[in-house]
Structure 1
Amino acid sequence: MSERDTKTENKYSHVQSVFESIAPKYDVMNDIISFRRHKAWRKFTMKKMAMKPGDTAVDLCCGTCDWTLSMAEASGTGQMVGLDFSPNMLKVGMDKIKARHLEDQITLVQGDAMNLPFEDNRFDYATIGFGLRNVPDLVQVLKEMQRVVKPGGMVVCLEVSKPTWQPFKGIYYSYFKYILPGLGKVLAKRYEQYKWLPESLALFPGREELASIFRSIGLQNVEAYPLTGGVAALHIGIKENRHV
């Protein structure tokens, strides 16, 4: 195994163990960490996606399936697939799906976002919410998302980002580095796991850099929207439709 393969495997295993351990408190901590803004971000994203009845989607790193459920309800009849590498997260998600009686519309799959078990050109949308910064190779994940959407289909990423203006930038990084792990320790009894979040953000590309990566793999009409002062960002790209 090469050094790169070893690093990839180590990151995969580490992140998987993090999310396995925080699954029961994940939803509560999301509300606290984002001051409940993640719900507004997802609502904005859904508006930009403009799903139509019958549209299909695959939701990568679907976690506890909030976004998967939103898309299922927006589509009405379209089949949704939620994929995540954490069985514990998927279990929480399945409980939500059953509570809304959407088992016939939503399928959950335990799998690797870098190697999707789906054929080319299958879905109208491929989405990833707050998961791209956690994968070992984000370019590979984006290429896989592009592969499995239909020509003219949409690749969508909603993720934390990096504010660029002071003093908000300094306050934001202090919160992520010093306060957030403490909240994880007190509220979820998990310090090391929530220490991972600022570490993952430090290596993640900024909004414009990620937009450039979208373009570099061939996605068209790329749009990048800063959210809440740039603490999060929405990126959208369209797979080339060769018949247009």
Structure 2
Amino acid sequence: MTETVQSKSKEQHVHAVFESIAPKYDLMNDLLSFRRHKAWRAFTMRKMNVRPGQSAVDLCCGTCDWTIALARASGSGDIAGLDFSHNMLEVGKQKVRREGLDHQISLHQGNAMELPFEDNRFDFATIGFGLRNVPDLEQVLREMMRVVKPGGQVVCLELSKPLWQPFKSIYYFYFERILPALGKLFAKRYEQYKWLPESLKAFPDSNQLADKFRDIGLRNVHAYPLTGGIAALHTGTKGTDKG
């Protein structure tokens, strides 16, 4: 019961955070990652090697940058974006329309732990900078694996924890002290950006997250630390048989 209450409390808090920061989300991503998030996503897209016509669902899609990149790479495939924040999706919808991709991309407000899609539907299931915010990350990974086709990929791009000193200490000082101050300065939100370092503390490091991919049954799991380990890409493949 206590765990359920804590999960619901986290879900409600995270929802409030993202509803409030939606208008400044893209600006703050650029500032807080020194624009590295664009390079991380480009690296991820190269590793995914999306082919023409392939389909994807992008969870915690936010303002839809990755959703749009998937649609461009696919060209004609079915691309779905899902987020629980109405305000984030509204920003994303505007981007999708500007890109002329509303015929290819469908956006859904929903819960990443209970996806409104049938089994074996997509070639890829992606989640970018959202897995550390969910109440049960293993449940989200299981749902991602459920909705991809046999042979399809589950892909997670997320902030991570540097494993070597002195960079680790410098990074945590920036993340815990400087980042919330920047949030207050540029987005007029201090408490909301204070949540980001808090969300990372309990999150698995890159090796532990790779183990969770394997634990739920994904195969050919790979972990790629990025920019000294402050972010990481994880990929895993759904098996093509029941064994």
TM-score norm. by structure 1 comes to 0.99
Distance 2:111 2:6 in 1: 16
1:165 alignment counterpart: 164
1:230 CA drift (Å): 0.3
2:95 alignment counterpart: 96
Distance 1:4 1:192 in 2: 24
Specify the SS of the correspondent of 1:126: strand
Distance 1:80 1:91 in 2: 17
Distance 1:24 1:89 in 2: 8
Specify the SS of the correspondent of 1:17: helix
1:145 CA drift (Å): 0.1
1:146 alignment counterpart: 145
Give 5+ residue unaligned stretches, structure 2. none
Report the residue type matching 1:14 in the other structure. H
Matching of residue 55 in structure 1 with residue 54 in structure 2: yes
Distance 2:227 2:96 in 1: 29
Percent identity, aligned pairs only, is 67
Distance 1:136 1:160 in 2: 17
1:8 CA drift (Å): 1.1
1:209 CA drift (Å): 0.2
Cα deviation 1:88-118 (Å, max 9, x = unaligned): 0000000000001110100000000001011
Cα deviation 1:133-156 (Å, max 9, x = unaligned): 000000000000000000000000
1:71 alignment counterpart: 70
1:4 CA drift (Å): 1.7
Report the residue type matching 2:215 in the other structure. S
Structure 1 runs of 4+ aligned residues shifted over 6 Å read: none
Report the residue type matching 2:139 in the other structure. Q
1:39 alignment counterpart: 38
Cα deviation 1:181-226 (Å, max 9, x = unaligned): 0000010000000000000000100000000000000000000000
1:22 alignment counterpart: 21
Residues paired across the two proteins, number: 243
Specify the SS of the correspondent of 1:11: helix
Distance 1:8 1:196 in 2: 15
1:135 alignment counterpart: 134
TM-score norm. by structure 2 comes to 0.99
Matching of residue 122 in structure 1 with residue 121 in structure 2: yes
1:243 CA drift (Å): 8.6
Specify the SS of the correspondent of 2:112: coil
